[in-house]
Structures are given as C-alpha cells and as structure tokens.
Structure 1
Amino acid sequence: MDLKRRLLLASGAVALLPTARAHHGWSSFDQSRPIYLEGAAREVRWRNPHAELVLELPPTLALPADLRQRPLPAQSANVDGPALLANAKLPSRKDKRWTVELAPLTRMQAWQIEPIKRDANVGVLGFTFAEEKGDPVLRAEYLFIDGKAYGLRSSPA
C-alpha cells in the first residue's frame, strides 16, 4: 500500500475516534475567591478525566451557619481550608444549575466516595472562572456529603 493511501486511511480512523471533552487545569479557576454551592444532584457523570455533577440550586441559596466550623480532612493541610471556609461567598451569577468538576475517579475511590445518587443533597466549596465569566462551572476543593468533608485535591492517608 502506498504512503498516500496509508495516510488517507489513518486520517479516516482518527476521524472516527470519539471526541474528547475539554479539561480545565486549576489555572483556569480564580482560587482567590472560594464559592459555596449546595443543591440537588440532577446529573451525575462518574467517569474520567474526573467525576462531574450538575447541581440544581435552591431558589434561596445561603451560606450554612456552620460552614466556618466544619471539620476538614487532615490530608488537605496543604490547602488553607479554614481560610477558604471563612472567605466563602455565594456566586454572584444567578444560574439555577452548575456543573461541578470533582476529582479523578481514582481519588474518589481512594476517599471511598460512592457514586453520588441523583437528587442527593451535596455541598461544594470550590472555584469558578475569573469574574464568574463563561459557563457556570465550579472546580471542587471540598465536597460535603452526609456530614462528611472530602478534600478533593488530596488523597486519604
């Protein structure tokens, strides 16, 4: 088979591959402004490169009274979690639904976080894009489920 024909076949094979979704590194997110969200998990995507949720926020989203006092996992000590909790804000934008990027599946499994069920109430502290521009996306630093906190940039000891 000549080179031209092999290149044509190879390019056709590449075109048939599933397209990859964009993946954001931490540098895309404004880490100087921690955002708190809480709501019902309407969609759950338990897959790589990281698990994702679509949270539907209640009409009267508020910071929990106990947020500053919530215990955080010792494994996340490289992040100043108490300062993040103390400085947490609600989003200024009024989107009803937010996509929440969680950790890679290997880290979720290491924390023994079961796949989140649809309609489960979930709290998240994380970061969105600078000036809250673009899509309503939050990169999770801490995940709060059933009274437990998970540090998603860390792994359990």
Structure 2
Amino acid sequence: MKKLSLLIAFFALVLGATAALAHHGWSSYDADKTLTIEAALKEVAYRNPHAHVTIDYEGREWHVVLAPINRMKARGLPEADLTSGKTVTIVGYPRKDGTAEIRAERIIVDGRTIELR
C-alpha cells in the first residue's frame, strides 16, 4: 500500500510540474509598449486555458491571447460576442521577440470595455 501511495504521489508531482511548464508566463511581452488596435476578427478560439483571436495588423496576421473563458464570461464577454468578421478594439502588449502576438489587457466589443486581467 505504501508503494502505491508513493507511486501516485510521484505521478501527481510529475504531471503538476509538466502543466506548470506548459503554461506561459507574461515576461515575454513588452509591458512598456501598449498597442491599441481596431481590427476585424479573422479567427476566434474560445477555449481554455486562454481564448485566442487572430487579426490583421500592419500587413501581418497577429495572434491575440485573451483571458480564460470563465473570466471573460464572468466579466460579460460570452462566446457569442466574439465572431469572425466583427470589429473590436484590442489594447495589449506585443511580444518582445517580434513575434506577431499580443497579450490583451482589455477588449472593446459592441461599445463595452472588458478588462481581461
């Protein structure tokens, strides 16, 4: 029985560490460079761990990291409000390495401002 408990504890530790490594941190985004972009949504992925949208900005396709869906729902942004073709305003930080990706701090949809962080 003791061996089984140790084995379960070991796997819980390994799986927990793997999940922690898989989640990204925010240090790769430039918090000193705020972007405010009004653009139409090309693609929407309303799923965990974070919802994502794709937009065109400055001749490139940009990936925008939003908040977890439970937070967005709690703050008044259900999935039905984010549809391909809808124009929104995104305020956030670009990646430091030049990758076309933004960490969104807030999004303005249908005249409503939703704080994501």
Find 1:143's aligned residue among 89, 103, 107. Answer: 107
Aligned to 1:55: 55
AA of the residue aligned to 2:87: N
Q: How far did 1:149 drift?
A: 0.7
Query: Is 1:129 the equivalent of 2:88?
Result: no
Q: How far did 1:144 drift?
A: 0.7
AA of the residue aligned to 2:25: G
Number of residues of Structure 1 aligned to a counterpart in Structure 2 = 94
Where structure 2 has 5 or more consecutive residues not aligned to the other structure, the ranges are: 1-21
Query: For 1:47, what is the secondary structure of its paired residue?
Result: coil
AA of the residue aligned to 1:29: Y
Residues 95, 136 of structure 1: 8 Å contact kept: no
Query: Is 1:109 the equivalent of 2:73?
Result: yes
Q: How far did 1:151 drift?
A: 0.8
Residues 38, 55 of structure 1: 8 Å contact kept: no
Larger radius of gyration: 1
Query: For 2:27, what is the secondary structure of its paired residue?
Result: helix
Aligned to 2:29: 29
Q: State which drifts further: 23-32 or 121-130.
A: 23-32
Superposed CA RMSD in Å reads 1.5
Residues 76, 114 of structure 2: 8 Å contact kept: no
Where structure 1 has 5 or more consecutive residues not aligned to the other structure, the ranges are: 1-21, 58-93
Query: For 2:76, what is the secondary structure of its paired residue?
Result: coil
TM-score, normalised by the number of residues in structure 2? 0.73
4+ aligned runs moved over 6 Å, structure 1: none
